[in-house]
Amino acid sequence: MSVKVRSVPRVWRERKIKYRLIGGKCPNCGKSFYPYRDNCPYCGFKGAKEVELPREGKVITYTVIRAPPADFTQYAPYPIALVELKDGTRVIAQLTDVNIEDIRTGMSVEAVFRKYREQGEDGIIEYGMKFRPLLKS
């Protein structure tokens, strides 16, 4: 069986959060998180505020995917990192515009709008934020 998780409405539902890196900030405990939802994942307070997260951060740790899931097979190998944004929020994202051998823990990166995958050659295209080394250091 082929395992292709493709949904058009879901891409539409999630677009604002993914296109603009929208997270949540909890007025109760002060923590920020990605993606946005109204329940704080830390203290459970219902009433987190939508925030446009900072677009710069650093690589906490990274890996290179060499055995990719379906719909990503043509892009492998590609790097995935845990990125900590300037406000402390952490996200998991692909790195781009970088040679694999040049990736370092701690390197400064910035968010860029890129294509993540296509729902097949004739399906819709899913976009989101990846991170690249700073254009200007």
Which residues 53-72 are close enough to bind other proteins by CB under 8 A? 60-72
Q: How many residues bind other proteins (CB under 8 A)?
A: 60
48 binds other proteins (CB under 8 A): no
96 binds other proteins (CB under 8 A): yes
Q: Would residue 124 be called left, alpha or beta, if left means φ above 0 and alpha means ψ between -120 and 50 degrees?
A: beta
Give the HSE-up count for residue 32: Cα atoms under 13 Å, Cβ half-sphere.
16
122 binds other proteins (CB under 8 A): no
Query: For residues 25 and 49, what is the distance between their CA atoms, to the nearest angstrom?
Result: 5
- 95 beta partners: 131
Query: Is cis: bond before 35, omega within 30 of 0?
Result: yes
Query: In whole angstroms, how close is the CB of 46 to other proteins at the nearest point?
Result: 17
Query: In whole angstroms, how close is the CB of 108 to other proteins at the nearest point?
Result: 15
Q: Would residue 88 be called left, alpha or beta, if left means φ above 0 and alpha means ψ between -120 and 50 degrees?
A: left
Residues forming the site for other proteins (CB under 8 A): 1-5, 10, 14-16, 18-20, 33-35, 41-42, 60-75, 78, 80-82, 90-94, 96-97, 99, 105, 112-117, 124-128, 130, 135-136
